[in-house]
Chains A and B, each alone.
Chain A
Amino acid sequence: MTVLAALTIDDAMTFEELFLLEYNRVANVALRILGDRAAAEDVAQEAFASFARRRLRIGDGSRGWLCTAAVHGALNELRSRRRRDTRERTVVRLEGRPIAADPFDAVALEQTREAVREAMKRLPERSAELLSLRYAGLSYREIAVALRLDEAQIGTLLARAQSAFRKELDDERAR
Chain B
Amino acid sequence: MNEHDEAFDARAAYARYLATRARRPNRAPWYLGAGLAAASVLAIVFAAPIGSVAQSFLTIFQPKQFVAIDVSSMHAKNKLLPALSDYGTFAAVPPAATARPASVAEASRFAGFRVLAPASVPDQVGTAHVYRATKATANAFRFDAAIARKSVARTGHALPPMPPGIDGTKVTVAVGPMVETIWGSARAAFGGRGTSDAALRGDGLVIIQSRAPVVRSSGASLADLEAYLLAMPGISPDLADQIRAIGDPSSTLPVPIVGTKQSAHPVDIGGAQGLAIGDNTGIGAGVLWQRDGFVYAVFGSLTQDQVVAIATGLR
B80 at the interface (CB under 8 A from A): no
B143 at the interface (CB under 8 A from A): no
A24:B182 contact, CB within 8 angstroms: no
Name the residue on A nearest B180 (C-beta). A12
A14 at the interface (CB under 8 A from B): yes
Q: What is the distance, in angstroms, from A140's C-beta to the closest C-beta of chain B?
A: 14
Q: Known contacts A49-B17, A59-B199: does B193 contact A24 (CB below 8 Å)?
A: no
Q: Which of A12, A48, A52, A135 has the most CB of B within 10 A?
A: A12
Q: Which of A14, A17, A137 contacts B2 (CB 8 A)?
A: A137
B13 to chain A: which residues have CB within 8 Å? 19, 23, 27, 41, 44-45
Interface residue tally for chain B (C-beta within 8 Å): 40
A28 at the interface (CB under 8 A from B): yes
B186 to chain A: which residues have CB within 8 Å? 11-12, 57, 59
Q: What is the distance, in angstroms, from A114's C-beta to the closest C-beta of chain B?
A: 15
Q: Known contacts A14-B100, A55-B37: does B14 contact A20 (CB below 8 Å)?
A: yes
B187:A55 contact, CB within 8 angstroms: no
A28 to chain B: which residues have CB within 8 Å? 2, 5-6, 8
B6 to chain A: which residues have CB within 8 Å? 27-28, 31, 37
Q: What is the distance, in angstroms, from B181's C-beta to the closest C-beta of chain A?
A: 10
B182 to chain A: which residues have CB within 8 Å? 11-12
B5 to chain A: which residues have CB within 8 Å? 1, 24-25, 28
Cα of A135 to Cα of B3 in the assembled complex, Å: 10
A25 to chain B: which residues have CB within 8 Å? 1, 5
Chain B 1-23 interface mask (CB, 8 Å, partner A; 1/0): 11001111011011011001100
Interface positions, chain A 58-100, Cβ under 8 Å from B, are: 59-62, 65
Q: What is the distance, in angstroms, from B80's C-beta to the closest C-beta of chain A?
A: 14
B217 at the interface (CB under 8 A from A): no
Q: What is the distance, in angstroms, from B22's C-beta to the closest C-beta of chain A?
A: 12
B132:A12 contact, CB within 8 angstroms: yes
B31 at the interface (CB under 8 A from A): yes
Q: What is the distance, in angstroms, from A97's C-beta to the closest C-beta of chain B?
A: 9
Cα of A44 to Cα of B11 in the assembled complex, Å: 13
B62 at the interface (CB under 8 A from A): no
A52:B10 contact, CB within 8 angstroms: no
Q: What is the distance, in angstroms, from B201's C-beta to the closest C-beta of chain A?
A: 14
A54 to chain B: which residues have CB within 8 Å? 28, 193
A-B contact pairs, 30 of them (CB 8 A): A1-B1, A1-B5, A10-B130, A11-B185, A12-B130, A12-B180, A13-B100, A14-B100, A14-B132, A16-B14, A16-B98, A19-B10, A20-B10, A20-B14, A21-B10, A23-B8, A23-B10, A23-B14, A24-B8, A24-B10, A27-B8, A27-B13, A28-B2, A28-B6, A48-B17, A49-B21, A55-B31, A55-B37, A57-B194, A61-B194
20 new A-B contacts at CB < 8 Å, known A1-B5, A14-B132, A59-B194: A10-B130, A12-B131, A12-B186, A14-B100, A19-B10, A19-B17, A20-B10, A21-B10, A41-B13, A44-B13, A45-B13, A52-B28, A52-B95, A55-B28, A55-B37, A57-B187, A57-B194, A59-B186, A137-B1, A137-B2
